[in-house]
Structure 1
Amino acid sequence: MPRNPRPAIATGSTSRTPLATPEEVAAYLGVPVKTLYQWRHRRTGPNTLKVGRHLRYRWPEVDEWLAAQATYDLTA
């Protein structure tokens, strides 16, 4: 039986599914998937959810985490 695609939600000009896979988040952040797993182990990365045995990310939490990582050079 074919799997039903996950429903997409609109966020700005792009469409993303409500829950993201590690591969999707890694591509979005421009880091290797292995880095996401290291961040999860160190508890320094975006929050994760366990869905069964799979890791998933909520896009709003990824965006909040990314915004919190921003550093600004006020001396320039």
Structure 2
Amino acid sequence: YLNTANAVSESSTFAEINSARNVLFMAKGLFQVLWNFKLLPNWIEVEEDMNRIEQKHAYILEQKRMEQRRRRRT
């Protein structure tokens, strides 16, 4: 799930980014289950990866929105 969620870039469409965000949401749910049952020995690394991916999504979306605003002004 994390690889799929991380597979977006600034050239990705809004639909692709939203799909990646949904996959990340599923990964967070799976993470919570595994963490609750103490089945995830490297949980800190996984949690950091999820946070980094979430920040990446937010950054890319903000860049795309700014680009749309610039295009509307011209």
Q: TM-score scaled to structure 2, two decimals?
A: 0.30
Task: Kindly indicate which of the two structures has a greater share of residues assigned to helix.
Answer: 2
Question: Does 1 or 2 have the higher relative contact order (CA < 8 Å, sep 6+)?
Answer: 2
Q: TM-score scaled to structure 1, two decimals?
A: 0.30
